[in-house]
Amino acid sequence: MGLGAFGGGMGAVRFLAERGALLTITDQRTEAALSASLEELRDLPDVRYRLGGHDAEDFTSAQLIVVNPAVPCEHPLLERARHSNVPLTSEMNLFWQHNPAPVLAVTGSNGKSTTTAMLHNILLQAGGKIWLGGNIGRSLLPDVDQICPNDVIVLELSSFQLTDLDRLQVSPRVSVVTNFTANHLDWHPSLDHYRWAKQTMLRYQTANDVAVLNADDADVRVWPTRGITRFFGENAASARNDPVADWITLPGRHNIANAQAAAVAAWAWGATTDQIERGLRTYQALPHRLQCVGKAAGRRFYNDSLATTPESAIVGLEAFSEPVVLLAGGYDKHVDLRAMATAIARQAKAVALMGTTAATLKALIEAVPDRCCLVSEPLPDFPTAFGWAVDRTTSGDIVLLSPGCASYDWFRNFADRGEQFTAAAQRWIAAQSAD
């Protein structure tokens, strides 16, 4: 249920098909909208597709339903399946049940992808087979037969995935929580439920497991733990946190915190200081996370499409001392945008407003009394928003896509949004060269 555009749905389909399952893929989106995912599954025979909507009979006649993590738990068709005693699972749960190797995992409202990738790069320095997957965009389920007990799994876990993992009563051997702020309240029924989902990371740890928590986050630092607790951050009172800032080249204070979190987790797993330093010094920024995608005519273009929360957009703005022309807004996840609006009003030179949150953001930004930011009207599409933004720049400015919102209204996903920004920036750069 829900093929999706990332690797999880396709990973589950391939895993089950290779084991002889008779598969029905059902998704509300059309064949055209899912064309890229369907192309990757073309080689699988005897898969039945029900696209553009669901048939209730599929949910009562199946022997197992693999649910995309973005589907709300209370979806009426899932309720119908439960009443028919049809078991439900997910790609991550299937992986966890078949994976023989220890898991180190990262969650949090912001910074979890970067922290996960940093931790993976550090562990690579120690040798051995280190696998990277989960919410970072790659399913490891198709590879599970190649994973050995002596390998190490590094996962990024979302609150959606953790909600379902709670049914297995499992937690990682090393769990990292980067921070906690309100998010995904269009999916979680309450902030407490969102927190409960994140705490699945710690709930089933044993006394020998490690919880790496953010000492600077008033919420996270007091989360109950069963294992060994290690802290990172300015309030961690650990000398091991201190040298990390000298080992990274990424902009922004938030990336120091991400690096500290990864380093403390790696130390807990047994990595040496030299391995951690090499891992951080050689780390390259993830695509779509404060990624410089070009420069011309004194402008620099940064793709921060992974900034899908207000807090991540704020830290994106704070990463630059130069004037910033921002592209912000998107799908409405029903989170509070006031702090983001205040930061934009006071720190951005101009902002191009996108998506369903555009009107709300405009009103909030314009209500800030000491606003110094030029604010667009809600713009109709991405090319218009990009053009509006670039037209407001002069030499020395930063053009920053840091939306602070999800991408689902205008784009397939955050990667599609970032790729469209990158392509638009490169076309503009090429035009300057031509002139």
Q: Give the CATH number, domain containing residue 297.
A: 3.90.190.20
Question: What pLDDT score does 8 carry?
Answer: 65
Q: Domain check: are 158 and 299 in the same one?
A: no
Tell me: do 356 and 303 sit in the same domain: yes
Q: Is 246 helix (H, G, I), strand (E, B) or coil?
A: helix
Q: Are residues 309 and 382 in the same domain?
A: yes
Clarify whether residues 25 and 69 are in a common domain: yes
Please tell me whether residues 104 and 205 are part of one structural domain.
yes
Q: Residues, the chain, total?
A: 435
pLDDT tens across the length of the chain (435 residues): 999 765 568 889 999 998 999 999 999 989 988 888 888 898 998 899 999 999 999 999 999 999 998 888 889 999 999 999 999 999 999 999 999 999 999 999 999 999 999 999 999 999 999 999 999 978 899 899 999 999 999 999 999 999 999 999 999 999 999 999 988 888 899 999 999 999 999 999 999 999 999 999 999 999 999 999 999 999 987 767 778 989 998 878 889 999 999 999 999 999 999 999 999 999 988 889 889 999 999 999 999 999 998 989 998 999 999 999 999 999 988 889 999 999 999 999 999 999 999 999 999 999 999 999 999 999 999 999 999 999 999 999 999 999 999 998 899 889 999 999 999 999 999 999 877
| CA 115 – CA 104 distance, rounded (Å) | 12
* Residues 233, 332 share a domain: no
Q: Are 290 and 326 in contact (CB under 8 A)?
A: no
234 and 360 in a single domain? The answer is: no
Write down the pLDDT at residue 7: 57
Cβ neighbours for 251, distance < 8 A, ≥ 6 positions apart: 290, 319, 320
Considering 63, 89, 115, which residue would you say is the last residue of a domain? 89
The answer to whether residue 424 is domain-embedded is: yes
Answer yes or no: do 219 and 311 share one domain.
Answer: no
Asked if residue 2 is part of any domain, the answer here is no
Domain shared by 137 and 80, yes or no:
no
Kindly report, residue by residue over 204-260, the tens digit of the pLDDT.
999 999 999 999 999 999 999 999 999 999 998 776 777 898 999 887 888 999 999
pLDDT in tens, 375-412: 999 999 999 999 999 999 999 999 999 999 999 889 98
Same-domain status, 23 and 147: no
Separation CA 268–CA 229 (nearest Å): 10
Q: What pLDDT is attached to residue 239?
A: 62
Domain that holds residue 343: 291-434
Phi, psi dihedrals of residue 319, rounded to the nearest 5°? -75, -10
pLDDT at 313: 94
CATH number at residue 155: 3.40.1190.10
Among 68, 89, 110, the domain boundary falls at 89
Given this model, what pLDDT does residue 5 score?
64
409 within a domain of the structure (yes/no) = yes
Q: How many independent structural domains does the chain possess?
A: 3
| pLDDT for residue 4 | 75
Flag whether 419 is in a domain: yes
Q: Which residues in 249-279 are b (16+ Cβ under 10 Å) and which e? A: ebbbebbbbbbbbbbbbbbbbebeeebbbbb
Please report, for the domain that includes residue 33, its CATH number: 3.40.50.720
- Please give the pLDDT value at position 6: 58
Q: Please identify, among 253, 281, 309, the residue that sits at the C-terminal boundary of a domain.
A: 281
Task: Mark whether 297 and 423 lie in a shared domain.
Answer: yes
Phi-psi region of 432 (alpha: psi -120 to 50; beta: other; left: phi over 0): alpha
* Angle 35-38-44 from CA coordinates, rounded to 5°: 160
Q: Do 295 and 349 sit in the same domain of this protein? A: yes
Q: Please say whether the beta carbons of 354 and 410 come within 8 A.
A: yes
Task: Tell me how far apart the alpha carbons of residues 107 and 157 are, in angstroms, rounded to a whole number.
Answer: 5
Q: Does residue 172 lie in a domain region?
A: yes
Residues in contact with 205: Cβ distance below 8 Å, sequence separation at least 6, in sequence order:
171, 172, 173, 175, 211, 225, 226, 227
